Amino acid sequence: MKPRALLLAIPLLFGGLTAARPAQAQSYLNETLSQAICAQDWFQAIVVLEEMKRVLPNRAERLTIYQSQLQNLADRNVFMPGWDCATGGLPSATSAPGSEPDPIAVAPMGTFRVPIKRRISGIPVVDVTFNSSETFEMLFDTGASVTKILPSMAQRLELESVGQIRTTVADGRAIDSDLGRLQSVQLGDLIVNNVDVTFAAGTNEDNLGGMGLLGQNVFGNYDVTIGEEFIELRER
């Protein structure tokens, strides 16, 4: 079947199933998606995901992200020889022959993989985008309950204080910090909205290597696995 015909046929088939038996349609979509990904048929997987967004509108944002990752693989004609798809997701993609490796990772739905840039004293450093506009390096601190940013970061984000909060710093001192709220925090493919952060005037930014601390109010609802190259956040 030609690609255009496939685009037309799949929604018609799945639409009929959804109208009659929504649970059966969802199960069928899951199975069809799994088969497409196991076959590394990125185009068909993208089409199935489009129908999934109609069946599962509350997951449309995540499914769109997943589509874009698969589209990247399709555009680069990526094929992973010897891949065992029974592992539940795609490993780091191997580029098409003749091109340089590209460390793209596509995780199973409900799982987010965050590239680790490097480590400082064993703590992973990751890129985090605030308010869809500014990206900063942050320390992924599993011991921090609240995300702490630097005063210079708050200034770049034009973040206003909405109150004061007392926090404890690494040396045990309790200090008064400003409390602000970010519209969004993006960590890899994970986007969390309305995130509270703290920032304290007079902070010695060099003590943290010019980076803030990403706290559990961003990733606390996920099971965290810290690997060599990626942090995996899996929905509970």
Lowest mean pLDDT, pick from 17-26, 190-199, 219-228: 17-26
Helix (H) or strand (E) holding 63: helix 60-75
The pLDDT tens digits of the residues spanning 20-51 come to 455 667 777 888 888 888 888 888 888 888 88
Residue 60: band (very low, low, confident or very high) from pLDDT cuts 50, 70, 90? confident
Q: What is the mean pLDDT of residues 87-95?
A: 39
DSSP secondary structure string, 143-197? T-SSEE--HHHHHHTTPPP-EEEEEE-TTS-EEEEEEEEEEEEEETTEEEEEEEE
pLDDT band for 163, please (50, 70, 90 cuts): confident
Helices (H) and strands (E) in the chain, counts: 6, 11
Q: What is the pTM of this model?
A: 0.54
85/40 Cα distance (integer angstroms): 9
Specify which residues 182 forms β-bridges with. Answer: 195
Sorted by sequence, the CB contacts under 8 Å of residue 81 that are 6+ apart come out as 94
pLDDT of residue 103: 35
Cα–Cα distance between 146 and 148 in angstroms, integer?
Answer: 6
Domains, the chain, ordered by start = 3-79 (no CATH), 111-235 (2.40.70.10)
Can you tell me which residue has the tokens 């309305």?
A: 194
Cα dist from 193 to 16, 170, 235, whole Å: 35, 27, 16
State residue 137's pLDDT score.
Answer: 95
The answer to whether 71 and 42 are in contact (CB under 8 A) is: yes
Nearest to 118 by CA among 219, 223, 211, 228: 228
103 vs 84: which has the higher pLDDT: 84
pLDDT at 40: 82
